Amino acid sequence: MFESKLRELLIALKGGVVTMQYPLGPAPPLPERFRGKIELDIGRCVGCGGCGAVCPARLIVTRDPDQMWRSIDIYRERCTYCGRCEDVCQEGAVRLTHEFELATNDKADLTDHLEIFMASCGRCGRCFKPDEPLDRIRTTGLVSV
């Protein structure tokens, strides 16, 4: 019995070091398609809400507090890093970064609240995001006389 245990020890030692010293040393290299922290580029977002609709964990929540604004809340503590939100976003506003160290003592650090100005269509009444800043002024009735 002692010989078999000694043989196992020699096999284990022959393999060398197979673990990384990550917390005490440098971070391991990440693959190109690594899925880390979710980021939303509010400048590219059109407020369609598709990312929130496909998220299985309900990470992205869209609300319309009034006719002109759409609020987007991101609750990162719920994220399963599936990448569906990034795949469905046609504008490229949602992307998963290479940041993975999200440990914090305050849950509010993992939550973002964003607001997007939306205009409403004169014909159907549905909301849309105006393309240009001048369009935004005209839709809210702030045109100078």
The CATH code of the domain that includes 47 is 3.30.70.3270
User: What is the number of structural domains in the chain?
Assistant: 1
Q: What is the pLDDT of residues 6-59, one digit of tens each?
A: 999 888 888 777 777 887 888 888 899 899 999 999 888 888 889 999 999 999
Name residue 24's amino acid.
L
Q: Which long-range contacts does 64-71 make (Cβ < 8 Å, 24+ apart)?
A: 64/118, 64/127, 67/118, 67/120, 67/127, 68/117, 68/118, 68/119, 68/120, 68/140, 69/115, 69/116, 69/117, 69/118, 70/115, 70/116, 70/118, 70/127, 71/113, 71/114, 71/115, 71/116
Name residue 136's amino acid.
R
In this structure, is residue 12 part of a structural domain?
Answer: no
In this structure, is residue 139 part of a structural domain?
Answer: no
pTM: 0.68
Written as six digits, the tokens of 109 are: 């650090």
Domain range for 111 is 31-132
